Amino acid sequence: MIINAVGRELPEKIGNYTVRPFMGIGQAKDDLPVVVSKRRPTLRPASGTKLLPTLEDAIKACGLQDGMTISFHHCFREGDMVIGQVLTAIRNLGIKDLRFAPSAVVNIKNPSVTEFVKDGTITRIEASGIRGELGDAVIDGLMENPVILRPHGSRPRAIESGDLMIDVAFLGASAADEYGNATGQIGPNACGSMGYAFVDAHNAGKVVIVTDNLVDYPCAPISISQQYVDYVVKVDQAGDPAKIGAGAARMTKNPRDLMIAQRAADAIAASRMFKEGFSFQTGAGAISIACTNFLSERMEQAGITASFALGGIPAAIIDMYKKGQVRVVACSQSFDAVAAKAIVECPGVIEIDNAVYSNPYSKGCMLDKLNFGVLGALEIDTDFNINILTGSSGEMMGGLGGGPDVADGADISIVTLPVVRGRTPSIVPKVFTCCTPGTSVAMVVTEAGIALNPKHKYYEELKEDLTAANLKLVTIEELCELARSIVGTPKPIECTDKVVAVVEYRDGTVIDVIRQIKR
Amino acid sequence: MDIKQTAVAGTMESSDVMVTVKPASEPGLSIHIQSNVLTTFGDQIRAAVEAVFADFGIRDAEVFLNDKGAIDCVIRARVSAAICRATGEGYNWKGEDK
């Protein structure tokens, strides 16, 4: 057993996986070799098309074989219809034992990914999170090999370092031409930014564009360029627009969530970093959307504008752009139809590669320039460690997303959450799964007050600014005790020794593992 | 005090619990709990239900809880209300002054 820098007990090896323990932020001793890629120079005949009649044809043309690695992006979210069709075609060809490495596993149904695990088509999974039916099955020990979970910023690093070499990438697009130029910005099933597809397109051995909307050559705008694409397949439907993100998320009416959101906006406005040209990322949860709206009000009152907003973008941020409150909106993902359309309509709303958004192992990602990051969480403990993966009974609830990246990248990272949800305490002595190290978290905002992290680099300055603004400050221990006094002490969840998932940090080290739940 | 009829109290809203109390088919207290926090709080929920029945001095009943994350005071209130409805007797509010 090894104990890592956040006090988690880890085995030294999990099957073939060698554990590199988390040593603390910026402590990874990587010798950083040359970037590796499976992309090969390919001399194509000058005439001809890349269009193939069916997915089966494309899979055969790519030379997909047992044991290889396939990837997808998750920009269509729950409306994705590419993954199911491709996996079905692969199964029809009798190819097995694949490593399935999408940027995130969305909860697709009919067919669900679980079916392909059960029949042996997929035997390994690497993603940012697994939830729903697949998550439940994995935590009950469905798979022999542990699922590798990485935050968004770590995926490009893993691909370029050789930890995750992709043989074939199947990239859904809402519009594409027959020579492989593709985008998510136009078409009936537009998903907006295709930020999570770039690193796959640039580094996979073979790249297949799957679209339901074949347009005249050349497709414009171009997100994925023809120079990276081997084949194009047209399917009847690549996405379900109702589930891709139908409309703007409405402002929550939950008074507790509104109170937390307002307090988070007040905390931002109280900071000395809240000045002309500041930058922020607020995310897409109910509290986040409300916080975005309150932040817009505070900016109006203070008469300042932001230089940029970053990450997954909802309609609330597009509203701010249209009001002239944000100069650039850098979208690694578009969370709804309003945000998806905005990239085409507004010059300052731009599509960015996920690697530019969040990869710390590059010559600079945009998170490095971020002032304020607002985060959600399932649990946070008295060391400010965050759990965004496992729920109250140990079940898989979410994905890492960019949470660990934003916490580390932003000058001031703000976790917003209620003290309890139902009977589940959110502030606990020790999180069940550690995803984000507490040292990267500046403060926790709850309905019962704001707890500043005394170990954060901006603690003194925040304490001064928030005190001057008369914001209610409490300690994290007080919040933890308040939660306990309301709901009682939960019985610890019992696990077996079998590791079902490995949680990697931004640098590829292991911050925690998830063990099978004892039933 | 005896359970004379089937009675219900509570709702299926988040943080509430729906309690159904029925006359016992066999002697003793039989408690059936459905809850999203059964693994972590099942024992405490059961203890809260048993304590309320002990307070009322009822030994025989069948109880069903459909719990949506209610805390102990909510569970006690819903179980008490279901018992009063099932026994047809009013709640002893004077007991609250003690």
pLDDT score recorded for residue A431:
97
Reported as a single tens digit per residue, the pLDDT across A111-127 is 899 999 999 999 999 99
pLDDT score recorded for residue A247:
58
User: What is the Cβ-side half-sphere exposure of residue B78, based on CA atoms within 13 angstroms?
Assistant: 28
The partner residue sitting opposite B41, judged by closest CB among A394, A421, A423, is A423
Q: Which CATH superfamily is domain A51-243 in?
A: Glutaconate Coenzyme A-transferase (3.40.1080.10)
User: What is the Cβ-side half-sphere exposure of residue A270, based on CA atoms within 13 angstroms?
Assistant: 20
- Comparing A243-257, A384-398, A473-487, which segment has the lowest mean pLDDT? A243-257
A491 CB neighbours in chain B (<8 A) are: 39-43
A493 CB neighbours in chain B (<8 A) are: 39-40
Contact A488 B41 (CB under 8 A): yes
Contact A423 B14 (CB under 8 A): no
Amino acid at A75: C
Closest CA in chain A for residue B39 = A393
Mean pLDDT of the region A54-66:
97
Q: Are A295 and A271 in contact (CB under 8 A)?
A: no
Residue A28 has pLDDT above 80, yes or no: no
pLDDT score recorded for residue A379:
96
Q: How far is B65 from chain A, CA to nearest CA, in Å?
A: 15
> Average model confidence (pLDDT) for chain A?
94
Mutate to test the interface with B, among A257, A420, A423 (most CBs of B within 10 A): A423
A176 vs A22, A407, B22, B44, CA distance in Å?
42, 36, 64, 58
A286 CB neighbours in chain B (<8 A) are: none
Q: Which of residues 28-67 of B touch A (CB under 8 A)?
A: 36-44
Q: Which residue in the block uniquely carries the two structure tokens 């993603």?
A: A127
Does the pTM exceed 0.90?
Answer: yes
In chain A, CATH 3.40.1080.10 covers 51-243, 255-488
- In this prediction, what percent of chain A has a pLDDT beyond 90? 86
Mutate to test the interface with A, among B40, B72, B75 (most CBs of A within 10 A): B40
Q: How far is B35 from chain A, CA to nearest CA, in Å?
A: 10
Structure tokens at A115: 């079916």
Closest CA to A67 of A45, A99, A43: A99
Mean pLDDT of the region A332-348:
95
Residue A130 has pLDDT above 70, yes or no: yes
Beta bridge partners of A330: A310, A350
Mean pLDDT of the region B39-57:
96
* Alpha-carbon gap, residue B41 to A129, rounded angstroms: 27
pLDDT score recorded for residue A44:
78
Task: Supply φ then ψ for residue A370, to 5 degrees.
Answer: -85, 130
Mean pLDDT of the region A435-449:
98
Long-range contact set of residues A31-37: C-beta below 8 Å, sequence gap at least 24:
A32/A361, A33/A161, A33/A162, A35/A160, A35/A161, A36/A160, A36/A161, A36/A162, A36/A165, A37/A160, A37/A202, A37/A203
Classify A283 in phi/psi space as left (phi over 0), alpha (psi -120 to 50) or beta: left
- Comparing A251-255, A320-324, A437-441, B31-35, which segment has the lowest mean pLDDT? A251-255
ipTM exceeds 0.95: no
Residue A399 has pLDDT above 70, yes or no: yes
pLDDT score recorded for residue A241:
80
pLDDT score recorded for residue A248:
60
B39 vs A335, A402, B95, CA distance in Å?
34, 30, 33
Reported as a single tens digit per residue, the pLDDT across A247-283 is 566 788 999 999 999 999 999 999 999 999 999 999 8
pLDDT score recorded for residue A249:
66
A490 CB neighbours in chain B (<8 A) are: 37, 40-41
Count residue pairs from A and B with Cβ separation < 8 A.
43
The partner residue sitting opposite B15, judged by closest CB among A422, A490, A491, is A422
Return the number of other C-beta atoms located less than 10 Å from residue B43's C-beta.
Answer: 12
- Comparing A157-171, A180-194, A389-403, B66-80, which segment has the lowest mean pLDDT? A389-403
Closest CA to A487 of A425, A410, A413, A419: A425
- In this prediction, what percent of chain A has a pLDDT beyond 70? 98
Contact A393 B15 (CB under 8 A): no
pLDDT score recorded for residue A110:
75
Contact A493 B69 (CB under 8 A): no
- Comparing A116-130, A213-227, A385-399, B37-51, which segment has the lowest mean pLDDT? A385-399
Q: Are A471 and A461 in contact (CB under 8 A)?
A: no
Residue A173 has pLDDT above 90, yes or no: yes
The partner residue sitting opposite B72, judged by closest CB among A394, A422, A488, is A488
Which residue segments constitute the domains of chain B, with CATH numbers given? 7-84 (3.30.230.10)
A432 CB neighbours in chain B (<8 A) are: none
User: Right CATH number for A255-488 from 3.30.1330.10, 3.40.1080.10, 3.60.21.10, 3.40.50.800?
Assistant: 3.40.1080.10
Reported as a single tens digit per residue, the pLDDT across A17-26 is 999 999 999 8
pLDDT score recorded for residue A29:
62
Residue A246 has pLDDT above 70, yes or no: no
pLDDT score recorded for residue B3:
93
Contact B40 A421 (CB under 8 A): no
Rounded to the nearest 10 degrees, how much is the dihedral formed by the CA atoms of B20, B25, B30, B33? -40
Mean pLDDT of the region A308-321:
96
